[in-house]
Amino acid sequence: MSTVKQTKKKPCENEPAFMTDAQGRQVPVDMVKEIDKQRDATVRRIADRAVEMKGVLTEFKNQIRDDIYSFVEQSAGEYGVKFGGKKGNITLNTYDGQYRLVVSMNDNITFDERLQVAKELIGKCIEKWSDGARSEIRVLVNDAFQVDKTGKISTGRVLGLRRLDIQDKDWKKAMTAITESVQVTGTKQYLRIYERDANGEYQMIPLDVAAL
């Protein structure tokens, strides 16, 4: 009776001997559960595709920006004017109004130490008005200096305090301190594309996966 000689399966040359876990440890492949391998492969396949799409979207964004500024320069040339820079808000519509392109520039704003001076002056006002201050003003002031989960103060709420028509001397000093504490740390450009719906309202075309 002949016997069949069993040969040990050789590992594929491209098959890794180890898989690195989340702590950076190398675990032998044959010690990793099959479901963990399949999970890793699934996530890695999707993530790799996402990285590819990020590159496509980045190229698309750059092309949009170049096309818009090229057109703006062409339009300015019709009046013998040279387009003097890329800072500023621009809105372009199709002839029939179906589509709209918007370029907006938003400043990144932070506050320096004078914001704390303003906070102290406002606190002084609140104490002074303790008997006659409207509760709405107290709420606005308290909300303005609340920080979010990342420890940041809302610039919109702080700057919104300046719209309150309060003639108190200390309040005015506080508003001046807020204004002078503003520091522009950078400017970010936003490109948005809109389509007009059946009701005549412009709806932004989402390019964010989460928004689709």
Is 75 contained in some domain?
A: yes
Cβ neighbours of residue 111 closer than 8 Å, sequence gap 6 or more: 153, 155, 158, 178, 181, 182, 183
How far CA 176 is from CA of 43, 62, 154, 162, 168, in Å, comes to: 52, 40, 18, 9, 12
In this structure, the answer to whether residues 133 and 34 fall within a common structural domain is no
In this structure, the answer to whether residues 189 and 200 fall within a common structural domain is yes
How far apart are the C-alpha atoms of 127 and 141, rounded to whole Å? Answer: 13
Is 3 contained in some domain?
A: no
Domain limit, last residue, from 86, 117, 145: 86
Domain coverage including residue 158: 88-212
Q: Residue 128: what pLDDT? A: 79
In this structure, the answer to whether residues 54 and 155 fall within a common structural domain is no
How far apart are the C-alpha atoms of 154 and 160, rounded to whole Å? Answer: 10
Is 167 contained in some domain?
A: yes
Q: Residue 84: what pLDDT? A: 63
In this structure, the answer to whether residues 105 and 168 fall within a common structural domain is yes
Is 4 contained in some domain?
A: no
Three-state SS annotation for 13-50: CCCCCEEECCCCCEEEHHHCCHHHHHHHHHHHHHHHHH
How many independent structural domains does the chain possess? 2
Please write the tens of the pLDDT for every residue from 142-195.
Answer: 788 887 777 788 888 899 999 988 888 999 999 999 999 999 988 888 899 999
pLDDT (tens place) for every residue of the chain, 212 residues total: 444 444 444 545 566 799 999 999 999 999 999 999 999 999 999 999 999 999 999 999 999 989 998 999 899 888 888 876 656 789 999 999 999 999 998 888 889 999 999 999 988 888 877 765 566 677 778 788 887 777 788 888 899 999 988 888 999 999 999 999 999 988 888 899 999 999 999 999 998 877 77
Domain limit, last residue, from 45, 64, 86: 86
Is 8 contained in some domain?
A: no
In this structure, the answer to whether residues 185 and 170 fall within a common structural domain is yes
Q: CA Rg, the chain, in Å?
A: 30
In this structure, the answer to whether residues 41 and 111 fall within a common structural domain is no
